[in-house]
Chains A and B, each alone.
Chain A
Amino acid sequence: ADPGITDSEILIGDVEPLTGPPALLGVAASIGHKIAIAEANAAGGINGRKIKYVLEDDGYVTARTIQGVKKVIDVDKVFAMLGISGSGQSIAVMPVLEKSGIPTVIDVAPVKFLWEPPRKNVFVVGQSYEEGIIHLVNFLADKNPGKKWGLITQDDDYGITVRDGFDSVVKAKKLNVVYSGNYKKGQQDFSSDMLQLKDSGAEVFLAGGIIAENIAMTKELEKLNIKPVTGIFWPGRIEPVLKLMGPAGDRIYAVDYVEPFAGTAGKAFLEKAKPLVSEAEFKGINRYTMTGYAAARVLIAAIERCGKQPTWACTISELEKTKNVETGVMAPISFGPGVRFSNQKLQIMQADAATLSFKPVE
């Protein structure tokens, strides 16, 4: 039989950045996995087997991700994998995953490389960074026709993807870009960058930072006494950000494919989560918890459909057959033959400083 299955248990593995600054996403995603697993276990597990979750820390260091994935596959002998760290990390473990053939659902960092070309055993839940940006920029462009644009991105693969998405809309819509910056990962002071932005006269601004960077940028703009229409991307769309931005963060736009916590779906999710996790964990919930939850739900459902004796082959083919699975945190999820990417529907949200929340606008 395939590994990771005993009469009473079924093991699911995961490697996430649980320490250091990126713990923000790694811990949140793992909490999402835990919620889905706890939910399934509370309902009796998968055909009588309890799910056990094996989680490893990689500290956001690629070599350790590889190590961690090998560990959960070889030593813990898990049955399937979820999550898997950042984009650079999941790209690097792809050969390991492919070679082992273990059923995997990736949810943290959806980048094209992970599903193009499609790998037999690796599925990705979410939406690509490019598409996300394109959606956001299109929305902002339609809303602010003829305006001058500014953009700043991080100098890594994440930043490039953001930039690529942006550029494609710029070309299509012939946008007038007056400022285009590129900052070093880890930069903390954005005074000169924002001064340049101001100097350029930009009226619409795509802030391509992740979390702290976007806060620093908006506050700098506040100091410079300008308030362009601002858009941020989903990794930074977490509620504590709004508190720190203060009034400067009011009405900035964001794009995402998971439901905002302020909406009914979001509230329902929190309600569901509350009894399933500890208090500290509950505080760590953010949008990555939703992506993690959705992916785990899809995986668990597929294994469940394999009946009493699930195998890798069966799980993979059942994953492939995933069709319109409702998770409550994002649009229904589907895969298909040769389709390893769920291609989630996107929505635009806007920040409300008064309630410190994001609200859907479309």
Chain B
Amino acid sequence: MQYLIQLLISGLAIGAIYGLIAMGFAVIYKSTGLVNFAQGEMTMITAYIAWTISTTVSGNVFVVAVGAILAAVLLGLIIERLVMRPMLGEPVFATVMVTIGLAVILRSAINFIWDAYPHGLDIGMGRGIVHLGGIGVRAGQIAVIATLLLLLAAIWAFFRYSKVGVAMRAVAADDRTALLMGISATRVHALAWAASSVIAGIGGVFFALSYDLSPAMFQLGLKAFPATILGGLDAVLGSGVGGLLIGITENLAGGYIGSGMKEVAGFAMIIIVLMIRPFGIFGERDIERV
């Protein structure tokens, strides 16, 4: 029993990180209709910046947190302005490809600016081990689960009720008509990129806290994207849940079948779910009328 609980908790903890990054994917998709192939890399950059702040400015949690969030916002805005905005109105495939080019640049930037060695992020907390009923958990792992849940609630309300949230959905659905309504697509996109960068960046920082930084960290994107699909591409909420599900499934498979089967189990679960719900667990069916 304890074995199972332990598996579930660590599954939730890594799943929450997948979930945060997956939400990053979904936020951009929901408001621009694009898949951002550089999501994992953006996450990684934010985490590295957080590390730099912690080693050069201050290791204080708040300093690092505020610094990382500002950095993530800036990163999102810069990318939107310099890279994505010029592609407005161009074919989707070309635009997605641009994010792939961006991913190449960001990935190389890590070794260029920093180095290929692993680094630990130390902000004075989060790395400590808490014992809950005999089960050891790192404080950061509890924090990331809580953060995910909080963000899920906030984002759900945002898309449901705020004018800007609805505008994001409108722009994604039909940006030309949104323009006709006086909605500035560029502003909406900038907001989406910034938000996505922050949400995923938070995931990245938590990852660094529990698992250290390394230039291979961008591969988290490859875990989170399936989570987005599982939850439903256009469902920000679903993506968070999708991440948790993948984390749990992988850990259960790893704990009961064997480590080599982790990834396969995650994918098998996704395929089965999609066969039952072709638009993901929370995704909405395309509206098709002829």
Contacts and interface: CB of A to CB of B under 8 A. Distances in A.
A21 B116 contact: yes
A223 B116 contact: no
B216 A192 contact: no
A191 B216 contact: no
Contacts of B111: 19-20, 23
A215 B260 CA distance: 19
Interface string A181-211: 1111011110111011001000000000001
Contacts of B252: 192
A189 B116 contact: no
Nearest to A226: B136
Interface string B241-264: 000000000111111001110110
Give the size category of A's interface with B: 35 or more
A223 B136 contact: yes
B155 to A, nearest CB: 25
Given A191-B14, A192-B262, A223 B137 contact: yes
A262 interface: no
Interface residues of B, number: 40
Contact of B136 (A181, A192, A199, A224): A224
A188 B211 contact: yes
Contacts of B107: 20
A222 interface: yes
Contacts of B255: 192, 195-196
A23 B116 contact: yes
A21 B216 contact: yes
B10 interface: yes
A285 to B, nearest CB: 11
B262 A283 contact: no
Contacts of A240: 117-119
A220 to B, nearest CB: 8
A215 B120 CA distance: 10
B10 A186 contact: no
Given A184-B263, A224-B136, 14 more contacts: A20-B107, A21-B116, A21-B215, A23-B215, A188-B219, A189-B14, A189-B211, A191-B13, A191-B251, A193-B254, A223-B136, A225-B136, A240-B118, A246-B120
26 contacts: A19-B111, A21-B116, A21-B215, A21-B216, A187-B262, A188-B219, A189-B14, A189-B251, A191-B7, A191-B13, A191-B251, A191-B254, A192-B250, A192-B255, A192-B262, A193-B259, A195-B3, A211-B214, A215-B118, A215-B212, A222-B129, A224-B136, A225-B136, A238-B117, A240-B117, A284-B115
